[in-house]
Structure formats: structure tokens, C-alpha cells
């Protein structure tokens, strides 16, 4: 086992083994397609409802599988750890959830994800399924990075899946949902920080080295490099490092904001609340009204310590879709 | 900062600082009494409803503050990190939530907690508030330990707070709630395992040393010693180490079970689901029917890696109270 202490059996079977647990824990609410490594709603898509499919590499739980359920996703495709799902998986999810009204793909902007979802959309198109895609690229940290051309898709994906999922439940059509998704993406920004690396099970050693007195600002959710290394700092100073680049990138004073303060996987909730005690006043001072606040682990990076901040300038429609009932393992209210 | 990398400002102000974040994040749903370090429901207790108060040392979030809300707790007393709340705090919470029908204290079995809640109950009694207490002692790992005479109270506390909270919402009286709480405690058992120590902010170094190839079986939620050290093992073997002592301590085959697979704070959800993929089949094989399953971080130990398993042999009443609406930051459904 060495330095990698994880609750796993075989490092090469982590996704397969975890899906068995998902199936047993959420019986009656979710079902698992083990062949294609998909998490689906227990019940088939309501005729006429657009199917919402997301997915990506595993290791970011509860994203995406924890968001499968009424009011949010219809299916999540689970790639290997930090590895894009293959087109076959996405294709299987797409055809499984199509109920005649087409399927929307929600894709984080990583080169492999974008390509594989595109290939799956083409294959599904050949079988007569209408597919559109929304790509999230909310991370203000870096322009291009290890796995991405352009900005990376991170925490905003959670908010977008909730809002678009609620709109699909209302019966909006594929064009409207794609436009809504793009509007959410346009209006949201994120920034993250890591205090430690993460360790990919099949690698067995930390993805990067970070000394005890350093932090990595603008970290990617796979441990890919951020903006810069800085000396370890107080929560107060780290809050400023997250808030400032977000507010510098877009005006958030004109709309009510939905704010997500997200843990990277190994950071306790106590610290996340403490961080929000610093982030909240900074937003307020800058004239940003946090209308809805979510604090917790929603898009993680295996066992990385750290957090990310996402701010969405919501319009009234987005706010009411955010408040709409949702019934998934990881986000549940009004249902 | 040295080896302790945490999102904090001043190690001695962690609780104060985190409560500021709780207040900002849950405005309108919870309120914070900063003087007494209490988290309370935003709205006063409904006349005639028994007030439900819990609390303990901080560092176990979301327990207890995350469970304050409709259908669960009326107030949580936040002690310093891993330190019992003082009688004054508990007294303030008790009088704040009394609406004429008395107050039930839910107390984990640690010597300081039990004493301080007892003193507060006496003080409240002198002011005419009827108080009863339920003490949880579900941990099968050890008989006595560093901070406890008898068994420790751990994960079952989460299930008990939900069930008793729902019964209070229904309007049951103080005697009935105390009896229900004791019945839940009688029917539940827990066992935990740590892969790493935790680090108390004010101490700054790990509470105990655990080498890379060892685990601590039967760990306490403050890092106090468990049953024994064992060589690091697979998830499959660890699952057996958790399931066996629980099933050896009580018969769970006669009733539907509510099962909590809980993370200790730094263990990613992916690993918890993987663990449930091992625990679930072991329970099934032993004739235990998992009627409800909860997987996630509900009673944590700061930044400890590891997990605990709790099994409750629920009767029909407990099961229906479990399913009743709850509206708290950490547990929310039907509302």
C-alpha cells in the first residue's frame, strides 16, 4: 500500500467497485449500467422531456452521478479516474435517456471530454437522436492548461446541471435548454486553490508536489497546474485570492448571485464554513448580493485538500429554476 | 503554518470564525448566537413543541449544527474543537428553545458532555424548564476509553437526531421522545476505522501517529485509541472488520435496517461508495435488510481519513419518522 492509503480493493477497479456501492445505496432511485459505467434514473425519461446527460472522469464525486435524479440529470457517464468517458459510453447514455425530445450534453471543457461527447453526439444523430451540447468553461485561473484549450470547466457545472435540469423537468425544448445552459455558463466564474495534491489510485503517488508552506492558486480539478505557487496563507488571505480574480473577470453587482463554496475532497466542512465567513463579507463589500449559498463538497478532486469558489450572476428565471424541487443523492430539496 | 495546512485564520478562533460562515450561508434558515456559540433555527420553537437540543465539541461537522432545522434539532451547542460545550452554553440553548413543552437533550457519551449537559439541565430545571436527556453509546469498539466511561456515542447520534426530531415535529411529548430516543439507542451499533490521524488546530500536530502501512480499528471520533492497530488492508477486508463486530453485538435480522456509511472528514465520496459496495453485500449475506442507506460525511473527525458504519434495527415507527420531511443544511428531504 505504501504512501497511498485509500479505501479501495484493486486500483484498476475503483470505478467498477464504486458503482456497485452506488447501486446498492440508491436502489429504487438510481440504476447502474455496469457494462457502460452509467448512472441513470431508476425510471425512464418521461415522454417529451429532453434527456440531460453529463459525465467525465471519475474522482469528482458527487459530480456527476450524485446529481442524477428528478430535477437534474437523467444520466451520468463515468470515465476512469480523471479520464474522459469514451464515445460508446456517452452514446449508450444518450440513447438510453432519449424520449423523443432529444438530449442535451453538459460537458466540462477538457479536450478529451469535448471530443468524445462530440463523437457520441454524431453517432446518436445517425440513429435519429437530436443532440445539443453545452460546454462549461468557468475557471478564470488560466487560459489554456494541461488538458484544455481555453478555460476549464469546474464548479459552475454543478449550478448549471441544477438549473438546466429543472428547466427540462418543466418541459422546455432542446433549443431552449441549450440556450439557457450557455447563458448560465456566460454568467458564472470560478477559482480554486489547493493545499495538497491528490493521488490517483492507479498512479499511487501524488500528482504534484506541494511543500508544507505553499499553496497552489488556480488549481485544476485533476491537479493540473494553476496560476502560481504562493506561500501558505490565512483563510482571510486565501478568500481574497479567490474572490478578486472572479470579480475582476465579470461584473456581479447587477444580479442576485448563486454562490458555491466547494471543497476539493479532503477539506472538512468546518474549514469550508470558516472560509465562507471570509468570502461572504468580501462579496458583500464588493456589492455582490449572495441570494443563494451552497457550502460543501460538490465537485472534488479525489483526496485533494483545498476549495473553490463559484459565483453565478443569476437572472430571475435561473433563480427560480435553482429553487425548483430536486431529488438526487447529493442535492435534494422540495421533493 | 508548518505541517498543519488548514483553511483557518487563528487556531484559537476556529469556532468563532466558522460560526460567521454558518450565519452567512444559512441566513433565513438558521441563526447564530455568537455569545453562547449556538446554532438555532431562524424561527422560534412552535408553542407546545418539545425543543430538541444537542451539541458537543466542534470538529464533527455537519454534526450537530448542520442538523438544526425543521424536522430535526432546534439548537446545537458548539464547544471548542473536540471540547465539551460548557453548562452555560447548554443552558442558554435550552431556555432559548423551550416553548412550554420542555426540552430533550441528545448527548453523546463522553464524560465532559454528559456532566455539562446534566448541570445545564439542573440549572434549566431551577428556571422551570422540564429537561430530559438521551445519551448515545453505540460504538462497539471499546468498553471504556480516553474520554468515556462505557461505550462512546458516535454515528447513531445522526440517526437518532433525525428520528426524534421528526417525532417532536409531530407533537409527541417529552416522555415519549425520551423513550423513543432510548429505544433508538438500544437498537443501534457503530464501528469505525481510521487510515490517518486528525490534527487539532490548536495543537498543530497529528493527534496520533499511524504509519503508512497501518490502520486503527475502532477509532474514536477524537482520534482516541481504538481496539487495535492492523496492517493496512483492502476495502473488502476493512468492510468485514466493521460489519462483524456490529453483527456480533446484536441481532439485526429481525427488523429493517437504517444504515449509515459515514466518512471521517478527509475520505472522498468515491471511496465511501466503494466501501458501501463491500459493506452492503456483507449485510445482505448476514440476513440484514438495508431498508434505508445513507452514504457521506455526517459525523466527522476534522481531517481524519477513514469511515464508520452504523446500523439501526428500525421498527415501523422509526422508519416512518426517518422518512418524514427534514429541512436542515445537511439532511434535507420532503421539504
| Residue B2 pLDDT grade (very low, low, confident, very high; cuts 50, 70, 90) | very low
Q: Do B261 and A305 touch (CB under 8 A)?
A: no
Q: List chain A pLDDT tens, one digit each, 335 residues.
A: 345 799 999 999 999 999 999 999 999 999 999 999 999 999 999 999 999 999 999 999 999 999 999 999 999 999 999 999 999 999 999 999 999 999 999 999 999 999 999 999 999 999 999 999 999 999 999 888 888 889 999 999 999 999 999 999 999 999 999 999 999 999 999 999 999 999 999 999 999 999 999 999 999 999 988 899 999 999 999 999 999 999 999 999 999 999 999 999 999 999 999 999 999 999 999 999 999 999 999 999 999 999 999 999 999 999 999 999 999 999 999 87
Q: Which of A21, A273, A303 sits opposite B266 (nearest CB)?
A: A303
The three cell numbers locating residue A144: 489554456
pTM over 0.95: yes
Which residue of A lies nearest to B196 if distances are taken between CA atoms? A5
Alpha carbon of B164 to those of A191, A228, A335, B151: distances in Å?
41, 50, 21, 21
Contacts of B274 in chain A (CB under 8 A): 7-9, 14, 17-18, 20-21
Residues B326-335: tens digit of each pLDDT? 999 999 998 7
What b-and-e string marks burial along B181-196, b requiring 16 or more CB atoms within 10 Å of the CB? bbbbbebbbbbbbbbb
Q: Do A18 and B293 touch (CB under 8 A)?
A: no
Q: What is the ipTM of this complex?
A: 0.97
Q: Which residue has the cell 430535526?
A: B72
Q: Do A232 and B1 touch (CB under 8 A)?
A: yes
Top residue of B8, B273, B281 to mutate, by most chain A CBs within 10 Å, is B273
Residues B21-68: tens digit of each pLDDT? 999 999 999 999 999 999 999 999 999 999 999 999 999 999 999 999
Q: Which residue has the cell 475532497?
A: A265
Catalytic residues of B: 60, 222
Using an 8 Å Cβ cutoff, are A116 and A90 in contact? yes
Q: Which pLDDT score, from 0 to 100, does residue B149 have?
A: 87
Residues A8-65: tens digit of each pLDDT? 999 999 999 999 999 999 999 999 999 999 999 999 999 999 999 999 999 999 999 9
Alpha carbon of A54 to those of A135, A150, A218: distances in Å?
10, 20, 24
Catalytic residues of A: 60, 222
Contacts of B1 in chain A (CB under 8 A): 212-213, 232
Amino acid at each position: 500500500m505504501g504512501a497511498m492509503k485509500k479505501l479501495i480493493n484493486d486500483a484498476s477497479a475503483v470505478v467498477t467497485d464504486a458503482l456497485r456501492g452506488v447501486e446498492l445505496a440508491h436502489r429504487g432511485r438510481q440504476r447502474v449500467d455496469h457494462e457502460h459505467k452509467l448512472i441513470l434514473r431508476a425510471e425512464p425519461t418521461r415522454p417529451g422531456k429532453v434527456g440531460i446527460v453529463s459525465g467525465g472522469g471519475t474522482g469528482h464525486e458527487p459530480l456527476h452521478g450524485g446529481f442524477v435524479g428528478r430535477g437534474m440529470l437523467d444520466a451520468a457517464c463515468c470515465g476512469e479516474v480523471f479520464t474522459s468517458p469514451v464515445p460508446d459510453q456517452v452514446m449508450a447514455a444518450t440513447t438510453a435517456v432519449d424520449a423523443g425530445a432529444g438530449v442535451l450534453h453538459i460537458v466540462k471543457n477538457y479536450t478529451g471530454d469535448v471530443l468524445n461527447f462530440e463523437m457520441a453526439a454524431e453517432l446518436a444523430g445517425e440513429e435519429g437522436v437530436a443532440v445539443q451540447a453545452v460546454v462549461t468553461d468557468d475557471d478564470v485561473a488560466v487560459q489554456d492548461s494541461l488538458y484544455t484549450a481555453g478555460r476549464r470547466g469546474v464548479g459552475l457545472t454543478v449550478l448549471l446541471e441544477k438549473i438546466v435540469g429543472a428547466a427540462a423537468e418543466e418541459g422546455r425544448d432542446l433549443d431552449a435548454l441549450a440556450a439557457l445552459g450557455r447563458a448560465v455558463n456566460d454568467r458564472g466564474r470560478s477559482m480554486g486553490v489547493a493545499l495538497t495534491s491528490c493521488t490517483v489510485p492507479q498512479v499511487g503517488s501524488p500528482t504534484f508536489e506541494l511543500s508544507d508552506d505553499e499553496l497552489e492558486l488556480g488549481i485544476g480539478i485533476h491537479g493540473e497546474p494553476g496560476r502560481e505557487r504562493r506561500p501558505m496563507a490565512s483563510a482571510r488571505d486565501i478568500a481574497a485570492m479567490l474572490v478578486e480574480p472572479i470579480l475582476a473577470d465579470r461584473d456581479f453587482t447587477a444580479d442576485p448571485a448563486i454562490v458555491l463554496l466547494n471543497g476539493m475532497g479532503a477539506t472538512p466542512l468546518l474549514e469550508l464554513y470558516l472560509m465562507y465567513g471570509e468570502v461572504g463579507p468580501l462579496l458583500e463589500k464588493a456589492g455582490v448580493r449572495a441570494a443563494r449559498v451552497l457550502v460543501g463538497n460538490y465537485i472534488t478532486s479525489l483526496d485533494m485538500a483545498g476549495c473553490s469558489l463559484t459565483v453565478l450572476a443569476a437572472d430571475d428565471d435561473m433563480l427560480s429554476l435553482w429553487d425548483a424541487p430536486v431529488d438526487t443523492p447529493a442535492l435534494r430539496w422540495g421533493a
